[in-house]
């Protein structure tokens, strides 16, 4: 198992910051291709994303969260030369 160790936030006042451990061990469920399978994936991804973001927000220094966000956006930079969203067709 890969382990990454980093800084935890400094406490505000006497409120302690607990160490945080996040494990990425669950397999993604397979949904049959039905009319709502995309929604099912969005639900599980959004739910887990909220849990992770909340945990990181209470555990990491704000500057580290900012740096993580910048790195994520850099990696997501699109190199396509076509429009991100296509125009709707007139039906």
Q: Mean pLDDT of successive 10-residue segments in the chain (91 residues)?
A: 93 92 90 80 92 96 96 79 68 58
Q: 26, 27, 45, 25: which is closest to 37 by C-alpha?
A: 45
Q: What is the pTM of this model?
A: 0.74
Q: Where are the domains of the chain?
A: 1-12+26-66
Helix (H) or strand (E) holding 66, with range, is helix 62-76
Contact between 57 and 17 (Cβ < 8 Å): no
pLDDT of residue 84: 65
């Amino acid at each position: 198992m890969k382990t990454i160790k980093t800084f935890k936030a400094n406490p505000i006042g006497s409120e302690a910051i607990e160490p945080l451990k996040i494990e990425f061990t669950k397999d993604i469920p397979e949904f049959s291709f039905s009319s709502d399978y995309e929604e099912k994936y969005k639900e599980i991804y959004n739910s887990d994303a909220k849990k992770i973001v909340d945990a990181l927000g209470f555990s990491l220094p704000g500057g580290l969260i900012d740096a993580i966000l910048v790195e994520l956006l850099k990696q997501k930079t699109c190199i396509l030369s076509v429009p991100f969203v296509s125009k709707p067709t007139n039906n």
